[in-house]
Chain A
Amino acid sequence: DTAVSQTPKYLVTQMGNDKSIKCEQNLGHDTMYWYKQDSKKFLKIMFSYNNKELIINETVPNRFSPKSPDKAHLNLHINSLELGDSAVYFCASSQVPHGNTIYFGEGSWLTVV
């Protein structure tokens, strides 16, 4: 069973479109995250939710909006996509905020054309 799963794995879309990436974890963890990995493989946290409450909200454009309907899900919605949004977006989860082990999803490869 996949512990942290995200969909879609690949997404190619045009500038200006709105898209969502979904994430689900079946580990019973309280905390979930979105990370962005750019073309140089640099990883940076975007958001974190603990028990459906937003606890980390890094300086990202407000075109990015996370939503956590329950502890097991954290979705990322992106409005008015721009070329610079092209990256790999990783969802992750841990038992507590940045607990001992953080489990990552396989990534969603977003290409904006």
Chain B
Amino acid sequence: ELKVEQNPLFLSMQEGKNYTIYCNYSTTSDRLYWYRQDPGKRLESLFVLLSNGAVKQEGRLMASLDTKARLSTLHITAAVHDLSATYFCAAAISGSARQLTFGSGTQLTVLP
């Protein structure tokens, strides 16, 4: 059974600071997703990482994947208030249905 763990679960940071959210998964996965969810809203896709060493960047967010360590990171650079949201990672095992397992989410609050 695939398990996905994120940490931290809660993160409060000052504007302008950098921080990293970690996502560990328990068994071999062939893809890793990062999503953002604003309160009461839908999940919005941020990144899909498909191979070892993959790195993707969008604005102040950068995601990477290390399949050997079964670890993905979401790095936040010079945080701004607009980044406040809950961030989820999810992993999928290849197969006929590629069942997606989500982490518990990291609730990020960026303080002015």
Interface residues of A (CB under 8 A from B): 4, 40-45, 48, 50, 55-56, 90, 92, 97-98, 100-107
Contacts and interface: CB of A to CB of B under 8 A. Distances in A.
B42 interface: yes
B12 to A, nearest CB: 17
Interface of B: 31, 33, 35, 37, 40-45, 48, 50, 86, 88, 90, 92, 96-102, 104-105, 107
A98 B100 contact: yes
B33 to A, nearest CB: 7
Contacts of B102: 42-44
B17 to A, nearest CB: 24
B45 A101 contact: yes
A56 B33 contact: no
19 contacts: A40-B104, A41-B104, A41-B105, A42-B104, A43-B43, A43-B90, A44-B102, A90-B42, A92-B43, A97-B98, A98-B92, A98-B98, A98-B99, A98-B100, A101-B48, A102-B45, A104-B35, A104-B43, A105-B42
A43 B91 CA distance: 12
Chain A to chain B: the 8 pairs with minimum beta-carbon distance, closest first: A98-B98, A43-B102, A104-B43, A104-B42, A55-B97, A106-B42, A97-B97, A41-B105
B104 A98 contact: no
B42 A56 contact: no
Contacts of B107: 41
A100 B50 CA distance: 9
Contacts of A97: 96-98
B42 A107 contact: yes
Contacts of B45: 101-103
B97 A56 contact: yes
A90 B96 contact: no
Given A41-B105, A43-B88, A102 B100 contact: yes
A104 B38 CA distance: 13
A45 B43 CA distance: 14
Nearest to A48: B97
Contact of A102 (B33, B37, B40): B33
